[in-house]
Amino acid sequence: MISKNNKDRASISITKIIGVSLIIILMLGVTVMATDINIRTVEITMSNGYQMTVLTTKTNVEEILEDNNIILEDDERVTPDLNEELNESNKIVITNKSVQEVQIAKISESGVETTLDEILKSYSPIIEKIVIEQEIIPYETITKDASAGATDTKNKVIQKGEDGLKEVTYKIKYQNDEEIERTVLSENIIKEPVDRIVQVQKNVTTRSISSRTSSTSTSGTTKIFKVTAYCSCALCCGKTNGITASGTHATAGRTVATSSQFAFGTKLNIGGSTYVVEDRGGAIQGNRIDIYMNSHAEALAWGVRYLPVEVVK
């Protein structure tokens, strides 16, 4: 005969077995349900370049954005589109429409036919950099005509040209490692360029000098002098009365200033014209002659010329 205690123990054991079985069945059901749910890791890039990673079971772009409280502005666009399903890349990119237009323009200029979505899929943020570069400043060539209308001329370099150097600060925008915009922020001149000066002058040959000497009454030695010009203004002479060092009144077409190698009253044939030494000048040394002009403008227009000079006997 089975005792009451044994009956109670058997009843409790059966209850435990049933309870454990139910728990196992529930766990298996949850496992099957979890297996059917696909949890994705999605990377979302905002229009300002900020990136965030979210976990979701959804595949619709609009639903994923709503779940993460992301609302598109009027000037923004998302790739893929809101009504599309997420693609294999598991990426959602939000961009400004202005950026899209830049991308479209660049693709159009290259002549490649593509779609807006293809452009946006390859979108990458614009990166700005401050770049300092050193650049050459090319020198300029200045030509001065001192030929006095001669047909037989030659060029002589009076001053060699030298390039300058400057430091330029740029703000450069890059996209996909390619420069798309460059803006100058500042320039700093490190070295100024030096102009190259070329003088066009009469071509003087030994034959022409000998011919001129034999056909005139002159018998002096011909030399090439540096010939400049001056007037009676304070800038040229420090005075304005027009009185020369020899006491004469300076006259255009006649008066010249030389060093003491020529005595006052000496007549000089300068480039085919005859002048008289009547003046001196502190800067007139060696083989240099200053020809008197009526005005400062004429003196400047004369410039610097290299001409044959000989004493008229």
- Between β-strands 141-146 and 164-175, what pairing exists: parallel, antiparallel or unpaired? unpaired
Backbone angles phi, psi at 56, to 5 degrees: -155, 155
SS3 204: coil
> What is the residue-averaged pLDDT of the chain?
80
Report field, pTM of the whole predicted structure over 0.75: no
C-beta separation of 68 from 45 below 8 A: no
Q: Would you say how long the chain is, in residues?
A: 313
The token pair at 222 is 């011909």
Sequence-distant (≥ 6) Cβ neighbours of residue 1 within 8 angstroms: none
Residue-range domain boundaries for the chain: 40-121, 127-198, 204-311
The H or E element spanning position 288 is strand 288-292
Closest CA to 278 of 297, 295, 291: 291
- Label residue 213 by pLDDT band (50, 70, 90): very low
**Is the model more confident about 8 or about 237?**
237
pLDDT for 253-293, tens place per residue? 999 999 988 999 999 999 889 999 999 987 888 889 999 99
Fold assignment, 127-198 = Resuscitation-promoting factor rpfb fold (2.20.230)
The CATH fold of domain 40-121? Ubiquitin-like (UB roll) (3.10.20)
Query: CA 68 to CA 47: how far, in whole Å?
Result: 16
Quick one: pLDDT at residue 212?
46
User: Residue 132: what pLDDT?
Assistant: 93
Residue 279 and residue 290 in contact, taking contact as beta carbons nearer than 8 Å = yes
Query: How far, in Å, CA of 276 to CA of 270, rounded?
Result: 10
**pLDDT value, residue 159:** 86
Query: Which amino acid makes up residue 24?
Result: I
* Side-chain-facing half-sphere of 105: CA atoms under 13 Å: 7
Give the pLDDT confidence of 168-202 residue by residue, as tens digits. 999 999 887 888 899 999 999 999 998 888 888 88
Which one is predicted more confidently, 98 or 63?
A: 63
Pair of tokens at residue 291: 């020809």
Q: Which of 146, 155, 143 is nearest to 308 (CA)?
A: 146
Q: What is the CATH number of domain 204-311?
A: 2.40.40.10
- Each residue's pLDDT tens digit, 61-70: 999 999 998 9
